[in-house]
Chain A
């Protein structure tokens, strides 16, 4: 965002929404990914 752009709260809200969903998906992907890695690892070792 540069100084020349007009400041618009509605644009801001849209960006916020998109960002939030992306970050939540990222967090759940990490959570699931590590449990999946644990499953694979304990299967392999057994």
Chain B
């Protein structure tokens, strides 16, 4: 293997540095290094996780018991809206982009991302976007309170925050599009010689498909919010019924973005899980090619299911049936993935380090969220589930023990590669058990609340919902506090501990394990040689 050691790099234009050229704040502001930018994305995401988490705790505190004790209904709605925007665009998406930045060049044997300066730009737009979004909490009229879906006409009642909301969504979109272009171009052009498309690790594959989804739908969101902006300030009537516009059209456009967005937040998670399970089962991934095809078909189906978010908006019967069938169809490729993971574990020799524990919890709990998704697809039953706490339980199950567990699993898995030290395994396992217990305590009772008839996005509720709400609130605080342990583990691991080897785990597969831990500032200045009996091809 020709990696790790720095050969003379005279034939290309890269300087052969062993560390960053700049120091202090300038290093981070002007960096074009994929590892630095990846770290910044991940730290930003962790910060936003706590900001959005605090908002969730405001929500859960108010819902702890019936009656209004702590916040006004309007501030409650601001918290609901901001929590969603921050968690989706500020926590989950940047975390995946951060992992992509760190790992994709290492996994495909590239020296860096294809467009390092644009990489820097797409990161630094994010703090600005979220600075604008968070500052709306202090403007007249308060933060946006119409829900993250920004449905008109309600969103038009937003105060001074309205143009700031639109502008920050535009910025997030630009950042995502640039990030996605960078990832596609890197994967298509920067792979080391010999790494064919069907030899790429699944994390790279899922990110390639996710990046195409991003390019296809972030401009749609940008278009929708631009139309909101012109409706508000320039007298157009895209969505104003009084001017001949159509409020339902916004919902169609929004969910044409929104449903692929849901998969943008879960496909890279599938990729991470597909990396981790084979390592700790000590067995090649089962059905590599069918995993790729399943991911691609989920991505395709995501474009033709959007109206299942609007079953109660009124639609012709044929429309409802079409969207019911296509939605149910998604269960097929998703099922293929779950079965493949189970088959990967079957007859392996498993050990249960923290990344594996989080991955196994992902398998169980994401599948649970998938089941409630299947139930929601049944249109007549959806008339009861829609906009109730059943939906809240469903999407939190796929996003928290789904997307976020996968991100945490990935962080534990690659942390020794990033820092050069092993994290504390005992604390990691403690963190896992606390998190898994509290995540279920928080979100499982919400199924019951929804079925019993509690609508979502309400600041106060009828007294028969009191007990489960109290349980969920206790769970939410437990979950939030447990994440402080994650921060401690990461900081402790960055500062020292047991030295990590290059391989870190027991014979893991992939190029990232051929470079030393911590990964040097510049890797693969010389393209590595890809072994031809790669683990993805049949043995």
Contacts and interface: CB of A to CB of B under 8 A. Distances in A.
A45 B194 contact: no
B196 A38 contact: no
B253 A34 contact: yes
Which residue, B181, B189, B215, B220, has most C-beta atoms of chain A within 10 A? B189
A26 B215 contact: yes
Given A19-B184, A23-B184, A31-B222, A2 B245 contact: no
B224 A34 contact: yes
A28 B236 CA distance: 21
A2 B192 CA distance: 9
Interface in A1-46: 1-3, 5, 7, 9, 12, 15-16, 19-20, 23-24, 26-28, 30-35, 38-39, 41-42, 45-46
Which residue, A5, A23, A26, has most C-beta atoms of chain B within 10 A? A23
Nearest to B174: A27
Contacts of B184: 19, 23
B29 interface: no
A16 B249 contact: no
Contacts of A2: 193-194, 196
A16 B188 CA distance: 8
Interface SS of chain A: helix, strand, loop or mixed? helix
B137 interface: no
A14 B184 CA distance: 15
Interface in B191-211: 191, 193-194, 196
B219 A45 contact: no
Given A3-B194, A9-B12, A23-B184, A42 B246 contact: yes
A27 B184 CA distance: 13
B88 to A, nearest CB: 20
Given A16-B189, A23-B184, A30-B220, A38 B194 contact: no
Nearest to B224: A34
A31 B196 CA distance: 33
Contacts of B243: 46
B527 A27 contact: no
Contacts of B224: 34
Interface in B212-235: 215-220, 222-224, 226-227
30 contacts: A1-B191, A3-B193, A3-B194, A3-B532, A5-B193, A9-B13, A16-B190, A26-B215, A26-B216, A27-B181, A27-B218, A27-B219, A28-B219, A30-B215, A30-B219, A30-B220, A30-B223, A32-B223, A33-B223, A34-B219, A34-B220, A34-B224, A35-B223, A41-B246, A41-B249, A42-B237, A42-B238, A42-B244, A45-B244, A46-B243
